[in-house]
Structure 1
Amino acid sequence: MTMSLLRQIASTPSPTSFHRPQDIEAVRALRAAGLIIALTPSPGGLLSMSGPAEAAQVLALTQQGREELSKGTLQTLASRTRPAPQFVHARR
């Protein structure tokens, strides 16, 4: 999920918003990993004057996020214990 969301963020113009609860949680995870710059609703909606905030807004990918995306080795943040796939390049 994380790699596909990071790809989606990279391929859409910024800023972009996410409204589904699972997407908001994924945005929080990407932000915590330092891969994106994002605004997310506070868990209790304490800062919202008009009721609970229902969207996360991604402002940009960080340099680290672009590097992870270009490597193609980003795994789901919760399952980083598995080794990254190894690629073998044939010489010509």
Structure 2
Amino acid sequence: AKDVGRHNRWYNESLKEGNYWSDWLGILPYSIGGSAKTEDMYPLEAPFNSIVTKIPTFFKGRIALVISLSIGIPILLAISILIVKKFKKSE
């Protein structure tokens, strides 16, 4: 990373957590290159594995269900009507 801006903070003061730096030697703080001469006061020792909540794709499933039902129900009704008419004619 390189910081050439102003007032950038590379850590969360209240959580006392910063970022993971693969080249960090374990000496606090981690110096960030650039003209701003900023530091990460709380670098992490390992990458932070956040829990990513996958948004359900129920819309795709619902669309397929609606299409299937809107096609399937009329076809089943038509077949049922034809079968009933055929049985009535044979009586």
TM-score, normalising length: structure 1: 0.27
Report the structure, 1 or 2, having the larger strand content: 1
